[in-house]
Chains A and B, each alone.
Chain A
Amino acid sequence: MIGRHRHLIGLEELDRGEILQVLQLAASMKEVLRRPLKKVPTLRGKAVVNLFFEASTRTRSSFETAAKILSADALNWTAAGSSVSKGETLVDTARNLEAMRPDVLVIRHAASGAPRLVAERVGCAVVNAGDGAHEHPSQGLLDAFTLAEHFTRAAGGGPEAAPDFGLLAGKTVAIVGDVSHSRVARSGLHCLPKLGAKVRVCGPPTMIPAGIERMGAEVHHALPDAVKGADAVMMLRIQHERIGDPLIPGTREYSKFWGLNARKAEEWLSPGACILHPGPINRGVELAPEVADGPRSVILDQVQNGVAVRMAVLYLLAGGGEAHV
């Protein structure tokens, strides 16, 4: 259980206390990643099924690694080459997998709302690993974790200091790119303001959804304004696979106006501002290689923190924390 919740569908439903519950446990779990022996028997005998209807390497291997470190059995099921191509429906697939008695079902699907539909029809816990343009809650949590860790280091904490999540209060995070198709941006918008951070969004007008101000975002259409004074900048990928009609004339023009290279980062960003990216990076489009690999980048920290956050999520939903009903 995460607070009152048996599933993790989105960060919209989670309140500040529930978000902090996961983040603080993740800080504990990160300790295990630093050990010479990265394996604990905590979830021995529990089973985690990764049900992925969309391509993913990072998220799926992150959930799989998290399950294995906690000694849970992880089964990966991908849509390619499965019975989905034979016409099986989402709910049928999920219920067939559920008959194998998993404790947690981790779902990625191109349709927004797919994990919730499954959660209403199965008995095990469901984790949303990204649904359409809706939410990607574990990514939102690992971004918050990584930001807190960066701010803790900037405030003089050592490289292994426990992140102080209170430091997110009053910070400004700029999310740049294809916000309208980004479940990462949406989960960030449901998470960061609850921890006291301000969020700006920036991108071509065709990529900024109408009414996003109501989610607490400050809208910018020029990159220099959006990143000015920001404590962190999150660059998003153009989701070619979700875009039917082109929303931008071309990637070269996109890169010119909304991409970051070393010169722009140097001129426009605050000296201590860090750069996040949920991956995969289109190098040379939204981020120049020298920025992605540069000293401001916390992109690989995000990947490592993703494992710790997913360990915390699996622990809480697979029977740790509170007793089952």
Chain B
Amino acid sequence: MSAERVVLDARAVQAAVRKLAAEILEAVRAAGAAPGELAVVGVRRGGIHLAERLRAELGRAAGAPPPLGTLDIALYRDDLASRGSAPVVGPTDIRFPIQGRTIVLVDDVLFTGRTIRAALDELVDFGRPRRVWLAVLVDRGGRELPIAADFAGARVEAGGGEDVQVRLVEAGAAADAVIVRPRAT
């Protein structure tokens, strides 16, 4: 446990979410997108609570909160056969037409990019959005696919043998934090 280090504390997590919201609104203005065009989609499970917070922030700044959806990418993974365990599938729930919208895809940690690849595949099954932006709380590098975050709350240096975990109070944590710890073997 001594090897576990906190890279963002509760205050820093909240600041990062606010920063993401401000940057997204700025990008909406710069792109000339209509206010009602924005929608937030969280990637299960890490992105869900973050997407809810971001939606609330965006709603505070823009007047009305944008619609919120969730994606479960368990059955879209490209490594199912080699994972050796049965997938646990949660709800995928997008109840608004994504056609023509600006979608903010939200996840907690961006690492290899494979989750985002799967999420994009699933998202486009629902229709053709005008554009998709990727917002993550933490970008830790280590990409295996040509995918980049449009908005990153923080950049964290972590070794290949380390895990970056986002702990939020909504998921049962005592306080919000982003920690780096040796990967459990």
Identify the A interface with B (CB < 8 A).
21, 24-25, 28-29, 31-32, 34-37, 39-42, 70, 315-316, 319-324
Residues on B with beta carbons closer than 8 Å to the beta carbon of A28: 74, 86-89
B115 CB, nearest partner CB in chain A, Å:
15
Residues on B with beta carbons closer than 8 Å to the beta carbon of A39: 125
Which of B72, B84, B87, B91: most chain A Cβ within 10 A? B87
Contact of B90 with A by CB under 8 A: yes
Please tell me if the beta carbons of A36 and B81 are within 8 angstroms of each other in the complex.
no
SS class, residues of chain B in contact with chain A = loop
Bound-state CA distance A316–B87 (Å) is 10
Bound-state CA distance A36–B121 (Å) is 16
Which of A25, A35, A40, A322: most chain B Cβ within 10 A? A40
Interface residue range, chain B: 20 to 34
Q: A31-B91, A32-B75, A323-B82 are in contact. List 7 more A-B contacts (CB 8 A).
A: A35-B91, A36-B95, A37-B126, A40-B76, A315-B86, A320-B80, A323-B81
Bound-state CA distance A41–B120 (Å) is 13
B117 CB, nearest partner CB in chain A, Å:
12
Identify the B interface with A (CB < 8 A).
72, 74-76, 80-82, 84-95, 121-122, 125-126
Please tell me if the beta carbons of B121 and A41 are within 8 angstroms of each other in the complex.
yes
Of A25, A37, A319, A324, the residue contacting B86 (CB under 8 A) is: A25
Bound-state CA distance A319–B80 (Å) is 9
Please tell me if the beta carbons of B75 and A321 are within 8 angstroms of each other in the complex.
no
Residues on A with beta carbons closer than 8 Å to the beta carbon of B93: 35
Residues on B with beta carbons closer than 8 Å to the beta carbon of A322: 84
Bound-state CA distance A39–B75 (Å) is 10
B177 CB, nearest partner CB in chain A, Å:
30
Bound-state CA distance A58–B136 (Å) is 45
Bound-state CA distance A245–B23 (Å) is 80
Please tell me if the beta carbons of A21 and B92 are within 8 angstroms of each other in the complex.
no
Closest to A320 in B: B80
Please tell me if the beta carbons of B86 and A321 are within 8 angstroms of each other in the complex.
yes
